[in-house]
Structure 1
Amino acid sequence: MNYFSQFWDENRDDEYADWGFSTWYFETNDADEVLKQITVYKNEKVTKYDLENQEDEFGGLCEGALTIDDCDGDEISKEEFYKLW
């Protein structure tokens, strides 16, 4: 498994834009498929998605392959990811 984060310095482009900037956290497998995803917003709102909970009214699990290089992210530990999960 691979674990990484990405800071997003833009607001959402919807009615939740006032949530502010966000940091995204990903767990991917060796095929770079996103298995779990967490988004933590500046206002402390948190969204979580996985294969059993792929979407809700706020967003959804990233589709397709994603690598740390694709999003210019930072490697994090499994422990750091699961503290948020």
Structure 2
Amino acid sequence: MNYFTQFWDENRDDEYADWGNSVWYFETNDADQVIKQVTIYDNGKLVKYSEDNIEDKFGGLCEGALTIDDCDGEEITKEDFYKVWS
């Protein structure tokens, strides 16, 4: 498994735009498929997705392969990811 984050310095382009910027956390498998994903917005709102919750009215689990290089992210530890996940 791989764990990394991405800072997104743009607001959402929907009715939740006032949530502010966001930090995304990803857990990917060896095929670079996103297994779990957490997004934390400036206002404190947290959304998370996995096979148990693929999508909701706020967004959804990233489709397709994603690597740390694709999003200019930063590597984190499994422990750091699960601190945010739980």
TM over 0.5: yes
The offset of 1:19, in angstroms, is 0.0
Q: Deviations over 1:22-77 (max 9, x none)?
A: 00000000000000000000000000000110000000000000000000000000
Pairs within 5 Å for 1:1-85: 1-85=1-85
- Separation in 1 of the partners of 2:38 and 2:78? 13
Q: TM-score, normalised by structure 1?
A: 0.99
| 1:61 counterpart letter in structure 2 | L
Structure 1 residues without counterparts, runs of 5 or longer: none
- Separation in 2 of the partners of 1:51 and 1:62? 11
User: Percent of pairs identical after alignment?
Assistant: 76
| Structure 1 runs (4+) greater than 2 angstroms displaced | none
Aligned alpha-carbon RMSD (Å): 0.3
- Separation in 1 of the partners of 2:44 and 2:56? 18
**In structure 2, the residue corresponding to 1:27 is in which secondary structure?**
strand
Q: TM-score, normalised by structure 2?
A: 0.98
- Separation in 1 of the partners of 2:3 and 2:57? 25
- Separation in 1 of the partners of 2:36 and 2:17? 23
Q: How many residues align?
A: 85
